[in-house]
């Protein structure tokens, strides 16, 4: 075995493949001054957002449901007129359309303060902004993943648009940045792809080199083989009753069906806002009741904690407009948003209560109740 790089392992099983360095087209994220007027750059930005969003939807069409949900929510923010408004001062200051978009996202990141989760979402938005920049600047290229072979993707970090391209040939992921709750970690964990994130020195791995991705050992080994992988801790069941009751977190019917295939005993958190992120029109109480009924039936048996819609801030819902706020993360969101749209909240609560079935104990949690 060769040198080792250490980081944070994601998953239990190891993977072995050849290094594929993930790179972006040259010049795509450069900060450039404009050679034309702010009005023309503004038109270019609007056209670029439209073209870039369409490209992202096409790229993510064959991806998994979880990635598709994340990208859908991010595109709602990208396509909101407010983002162009945030870019306008930078356009007026003489920056080109793509640079002004990057700067607007920097401003958004500053608004999020020190919240790592929100900053991570802004990082995801920057990934989509790169596609928009490519459309604006007429840049083609960047990394693509061969359909044949076994490849370990190595990058500084990855965006939702990047991970949407993962196919069966991707057997491992290694990133210099990111953490256990990053988008890359979440996607790799849900798809069973071995990964090591926050692996300093990962970019020094040679393209094409054979490496072992050993998440149980929190390491990447040059020249390593699967037989060298760390054996994950395993447990022997000695009692049907768990020492700690583990419940699933879900946000959709597909999540409920997947959770039912595990040993989860009920649902610890049903994030109902996921059901509405791509809805342009408010669903009726009857439609919501039907959807909740299907999810409750599919969920693993046990207590189900249903959180009322926690929309707003980084999770906008099209049919529940909220306007502009200085601090949207602590503003009118969650239950407060429901109070601002009185026609929606009774329908959601009614739809949930209509499906409290005997096989499960349904509890309702009011998101951001105060």
The model's pLDDT over 261-286, given as tens digits with 9 standing for 90+, comes to: 998 999 999 999 888 888 888 999 99
Q: What is the pLDDT of residue 179?
A: 85
Residue 275 CB contacts under 8 Å (≥ 6 apart), including other chains:
251, 252, 288, 291
Instruction: Decide if 38-137 and 248-365 have a common fold.
Output: no
> How far apart are the C-alpha atoms of 3 and 365, rounded to whole Å?
49
- Residue 11 region by backbone torsions, left for phi larger than 0, else alpha for psi between -120 and 50, else beta: left
Q: CATH topology for 4-23+144-228?
A: Glucose Oxidase; domain 1 (3.50.30)
Residues in the chain: 370
pLDDT more than 90, % of the chain: 45
Neighbours of 76 (CB within 10 A): 16
Q: What is the pLDDT of residue 319?
A: 81
pLDDT tens column, 176-209: 988 888 878 888 988 899 999 999 999 999 999 9
Q: What is the pLDDT of residue 154?
A: 96
Check: CB of residue 220 under 8 Å from CB of residue 202.
yes
Task: Render the burial of 82-113: b for 16+ CB within 10 Å, e for the rest.
Answer: ebbebbbebbeeebbbbbbbbbbbeebbeebe
Low-confidence ranges of the chain (pLDDT < 50): 358
The CATH code of domain 38-137 reads 1.10.274.10
- How many separate helices (H) and strands (E) can be counted in the chain? 11, 12
Q: What is the pLDDT of residue 360?
A: 65
Alpha carbon of 98 to those of 135, 138, 174: distances in Å? 9, 11, 29
Residue 113 CB contacts under 8 Å (≥ 6 apart), including other chains:
none
Q: How is residue 142 written in tokens?
A: 């960047």
Q: How is residue 31 written in tokens?
A: 């900060």
Which CATH code, of 3.20.20.60, 3.90.226.10, 3.30.1180.20, 3.30.200.20, is assigned to 248-365?
A: 3.20.20.60
> How far apart are the C-alpha atoms of 194 and 192, rounded to whole Å?
6
> How far apart are the C-alpha atoms of 108 and 92, rounded to whole Å?
18
Q: What is the pLDDT of residue 358?
A: 46
Alpha carbon of 16 to those of 164, 194, 224: distances in Å? 21, 9, 8
Q: What is the pLDDT of residue 120?
A: 73
Residue ranges per structural domain of the chain: 4-23+144-228, 38-137, 248-365
Q: What is the pLDDT of residue 370?
A: 55
């Amino acid at each position: 075995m060769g040198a080792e790089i250490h980081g944070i392992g994601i998953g239990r099983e190891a993977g072995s493949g050849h290094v594929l360095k993930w790179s972006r087209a040259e010049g795509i994220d450069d900060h450039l001054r404009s050679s034309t007027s702010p009005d023309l750059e503004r038109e270019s930005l609007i056209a670029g957002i439209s073209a870039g969003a369409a490209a992202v939807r096409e790229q993510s069409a064959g991806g998994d449901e979880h990635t598709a949900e994340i990208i859908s929510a991010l595109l709602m923010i990208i396509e909101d007129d407010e983002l162009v408004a945030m870019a306008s001062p930078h356009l007026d200051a003489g920056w080109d359309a793509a640079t002004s978009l990057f700067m607007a996202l920097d401003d958004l990141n500053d608004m999020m303060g020190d919240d790592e989760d929100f900053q991570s979402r802004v990082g995801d938005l920057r990934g989509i902004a790169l596609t928009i920049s490519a459309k604006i600047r007429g840049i083609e290229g960047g990394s693509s993943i061969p359909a044949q072979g076994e490849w370990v993707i190595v990058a500084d970090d990855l965006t939702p648009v990047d991970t949407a391209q993962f196919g069966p040939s991707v057997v491992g992921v290694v990133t210099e940045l990111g953490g256990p709750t990053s988008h890359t970690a979440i996607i790799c964990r849900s798809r069973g792809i071995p990964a090591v994130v926050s692996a300093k020195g990962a970019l020094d791995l040679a393209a094409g080199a054979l490496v072992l991705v050993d998440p149980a050992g929190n390491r990447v080994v040059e020249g390593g083989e699967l037989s060298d992988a760390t054996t994950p801790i395993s447990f022997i069941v000695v009692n049907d009753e768990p020492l700690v009751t583990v419940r699933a977190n879900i946000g959709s019917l597909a999540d409920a069906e997947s959770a039912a295939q595990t040993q989860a005993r009920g649902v610890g958190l049903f994030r109902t806002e996921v059901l509405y992120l791509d809805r342009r029109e408010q669903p009726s109480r009857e439609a919501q009741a039907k959807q909740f009924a299907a999810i409750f039936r599919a969920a693993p048996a046990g207590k189900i904690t249903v959180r009322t819609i926690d929309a707003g801030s980084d999770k906008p819902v099209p049919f529940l407009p909220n306007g502009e706020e200085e601090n949207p993360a602590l503003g009118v969101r969650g239950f407060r948003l429901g109070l601002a749209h009185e026609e929606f909240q009774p329908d959601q609560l009614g739809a949930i209560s209509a499906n409290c079935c005997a096989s499960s104990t349904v509890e309702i949690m009011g998101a951001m109740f105060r």
